[in-house]
Amino acid sequence: MLFELFFSILIISLISLIGVLTLAINKKKLDKRLDLLVSLSVGALLGSVFLHLLPELAHDGLLEELFIFVLIGMILFFILEKFVFWHHCHKAEHKHLSFTYMNLIGDALHNMLDGALLAGTFMISVQLGFVTAIAIALHEIPQEIGDFGVLLKGGFSRKQALIANFAIALTAFLGAILTIIFSNLIQGLTPIIVAITAGGFIYIAATDLIPELHKNPNIKNSISQLIFILIGIGLMMGVTLLHLH
């Protein structure tokens, strides 16, 4: 379980380097592709919640008593955004240098939480852990592209931005290790983490990503977004079918 967990975190951390690939793409094309990535992320996040995380809790007979922790997960992500001044930046619109450091601090907390969520799901089953890892990875791609742009606009060089993003991404290992340590001390922690994961994923998809998609309301964009949302859900459904066989 530990190998699969840490390998997944490493792969997700390497996504932080994807920003450099966007430098050769003009802004108009990048914005369009970001919309599709965000749509894919919405589908993957919602698919993982309703096809994997919540059904897993229901299978164990824990869903009703843990619904409060789904709500807590949503509130926790709200607190991260509001009180750490952190925002999932999918378009590099922020211009203040001070914000880049707040963005990095918030991103570190977010990645630690991702590591904790991954550890919790891997402790239930490797299959559920991989599902969570896929959902997080698909969400990280547009976020990391946005973060890279924020750092560049804040005065970082390309090399500094890449190093900073990757270093912050590695804080996910800390979150995972702390969760493993404390899960041995607190019985029943793992299902709670899964419920918080579900709440966090719902919050990200519903309040952060979907509003981004409404910024391009024309019918062609809307159809493309819907298709990629369904593809994201299909990916999660595909994982379920593979597991059943």
Q: CA 136 to CA 204: how far, in whole Å?
A: 11
| Cβ atoms < 10 Å from Cβ of 180 | 18
Q: CA 52 to CA 37: how far, in whole Å?
A: 21
Q: Which of 126, 242, 32 is nearest to 234 (CA)?
A: 242
Helix then strand then coil, in percent of the chain rounded to 5, is: 85, 0, 15
Q: What is the DSSP letter of 206?
A: I
Q: Which of 116, 117, 81 is nearest to 102 (CA)?
A: 81
Model confidence pLDDT, tens digit, residues 177-204:
998 888 777 667 778 888 888 898 898 8
Asked whether the beta carbons of 8 and 129 are under 8 A apart, the reply is yes
pLDDT given at position 59: 80
Q: Tell me how many degrees the CA angle 216-220-221 measures, rounded to the nearest 5.
A: 35
Domains of the chain by residue range: 38-244
Model confidence pLDDT, tens digit, residues 25-42:
666 676 667 788 888 888
Rounded to 5 degrees, what are φ and ψ at 182? -80, -20
Q: What does pTM read for this prediction?
A: 0.73
